[in-house]
C-alpha cells in the first residue's frame, strides 16, 4: 500500500455556510492533481450543507475539526465521534495546536479522543509540534516523540493505517520565524523513524505525514518536494480556492 499525498484545508472558524459551500464547490470542481487526496476540514455547522451541496468524490473528503472523547452524554456543545460517523464524515482532526493551547487539551485527553474516533470508524489527522522555546532549546524531536508516544503509540500496527500525522512547527506560525524545507524534512524524517522503531518499516513507509507550518502556493512545491513530506495541513491559504488549488497542484511526485 502506497502512502497518500494529501492536501488538507483547515478552515478553522471561518466562512458562513453559504461562503463555505461556494468555496468547497470551487475547489471540488477545479482542475486538480488526481494523485492528491483533498480534505476539507470545515466548521461543524458546514459539514451537512457542504456534503449535500458539493460533489464529494473519491478525491475530495470532509473532515471535522475536533470531536469529544465520549460517544454520548451530558456534554453541552460537544460533538461525538459517533455523530460524525453517522453523518458519513470520514476524517476528524485531533490535537491541533490551537486546541492544545486554547482548550488545554493534553496528551492523555488526545489519546482518549483518538481511541474514540477510531472506535467510531473515523480516520484521524493527528497534529503534533513544538513551540518556539522548545525549538530553540533543541528539544523539538523529544517533545514530538512524547506527543506521539502518549497519544498514538498505544494503537496497533493495523490501526495506524487510519492515522495521518500532521506536524505543526508552532514556532514558525505567526512568530516572524521561518521554517525551511530542510527543517520540515528533518522533523518528518524523525517522525518516520519513530514510526519505524515502534511499528516497523511497513507502517513507517505507509503513514502520510503532512506539514502544517504556513503552507502557501509560493512555498508548497519546495516543501512537498522533500522526500518525507507527504502534503500539507493548510490554514489561511485554504480559504482561497485559487490558492488552495495551486497548493494541491504543487506536488511534483506520485505516491510512493
- For residues 216 and 243, is the Cβ–Cβ distance under 8 A? yes
Cα(219)–Cα(247) distance, rounded to whole angstroms? 9
pLDDT of residue 255: 52
Nearest CA to 143 out of 94, 190, 85 is that of 190
- From residue 34, alpha-carbon distances to 11, 29, 63, 133, 219 in Å are 22, 12, 19, 39, 20
pLDDT of residue 239: 98
Mean per-residue pLDDT, 154-180: 89
pLDDT of residue 178: 67
Q: Name the band, by pLDDT with cuts 50, 70 and 90, for residue 143.
A: very high
Nearest CA to 133 out of 186, 169, 109 is that of 169
pLDDT, tens digit (0-9, with 9 covering 90-100), for 11-29: 999 999 999 999 999 999 9
Comparing 153-162, 201-210, 222-231, 247-256, which segment has the lowest mean pLDDT?
Answer: 247-256
Comparing 153-162, 168-177, 235-244, which segment has the lowest mean pLDDT?
Answer: 168-177
Cα(30)–Cα(242) distance, rounded to whole angstroms? 9
Examine the residue annotation and report whether 96 is marked as an active-site residue of this protein.
Answer: yes
Cα(29)–Cα(191) distance, rounded to whole angstroms? 34
pLDDT of residue 58: 72
Mean per-residue pLDDT, 132-138: 91
Any long-range contacts for 189-193 (C-beta under 8 Å, 24+ apart)?
A: 189/227, 189/228, 190/141, 190/144, 190/145, 191/128, 191/144, 191/148, 191/165, 191/167, 191/228, 192/228
Q: Where are the domains of the chain?
A: 5-248
Rg (alpha carbons) of the chain, rounded to whole number: 17
pLDDT of residue 172: 83
Examine the residue annotation and report whether 188 is marked as an active-site residue of this protein.
Answer: no
Is residue 102's pLDDT more than 60? yes
pTM of the model: 0.96
Catalytic-role residue among 46, 68, 69, 96 = 96
Q: Which residue has the higher pLDDT, 213 or 41?
A: 41
Is residue 226's pLDDT more than 70? yes
CATH of domain 5-248: 3.20.20.70
Say how many residues make up the chain.
Answer: 256
Comparing 47-56, 130-139, 167-176, which segment has the lowest mean pLDDT?
Answer: 167-176
pLDDT of residue 21: 96
pLDDT, tens digit (0-9, with 9 covering 90-100), for 55-77: 777 789 999 999 999 999 999 99
Contacts of 119 (CB under 8 A, 6+ apart): 81
Q: What are phi and psi of 208, to 5 degrees?
A: -75, 135
- For residues 218 and 246, is the Cβ–Cβ distance under 8 A? no
Q: Name the band, by pLDDT with cuts 50, 70 and 90, for residue 254.
A: low
Amino acid at each position: 500500500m502506497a502512502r497518500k499525498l494529501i492536501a488538507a484545508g483547515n478552515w478553522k472558524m471561518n466562512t458562513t455556510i453559504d461562503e463555505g459551500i461556494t468555496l468547497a464547490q470551487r475547489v471540488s470542481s477545479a482542475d486538480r492533481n488526481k494523485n492528491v487526496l483533498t480534505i476539507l476540514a470545515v466548521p461543524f455547522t458546514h459539514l451537512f450543507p457542504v456534503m449535500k451541496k458539493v460533489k464529494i468524490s473519491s478525491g475530495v473528503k470532509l473532515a471535522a475539526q475536533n470531536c469529544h472523547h465520549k460517544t454520548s452524554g451530558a456534554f453541552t456543545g460537544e460533538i461525538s465521534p459517533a455523530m460524525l460517523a453517522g453523518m458519513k464524515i470520514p476524517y476528524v482532526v485531533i490535537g491541533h495546536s490551537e486546541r492544545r493551547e486554547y482548550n488545554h487539551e493534553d496528551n492523555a485527553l488526545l489519546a482518549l479522543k483518538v481511541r474514540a474516533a477510531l472506535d467510531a470508524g473515523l480516520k484521524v489527522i493527528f497534529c503534533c509540534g513544538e513551540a518556539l522555546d522548545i525549538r530553540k532549546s533543541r528539544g523539538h524531536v523529544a517533545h514530538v516523540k512524547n506527543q506521539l508516544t502518549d497519544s498514538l503509540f498505544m494503537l496497533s500496527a493495523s490501526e495506524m493505517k487510519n492515522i495521518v500525522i500532521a506536524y505543526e512547527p508552532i514556532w514558525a506560525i505567526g512568530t516572524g520565524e521561518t521554517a525551511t524545507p530542510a527543517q520540515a524534512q528533518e522533523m518528518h524524517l524523525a517522525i518516520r523513524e519513530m514510526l519505524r522503531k515502534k511499528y516497523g518499516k511497513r507502517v513507517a513507509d505507509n503513514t502520510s505525514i503532512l506539514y502544517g507550518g504556513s503552507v502557501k502556493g509560493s512555498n508548497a512545491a519546495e516543501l512537498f518536494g522533500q522526500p518525507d513530506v507527504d502534503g500539507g495541513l493548510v490554514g489561511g491559504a485554504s480559504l482561497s480556492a485559487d490558492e488552495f488549488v495551486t497548493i494541491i497542484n504543487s506536488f511534483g511526485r506520485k505516491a510512493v
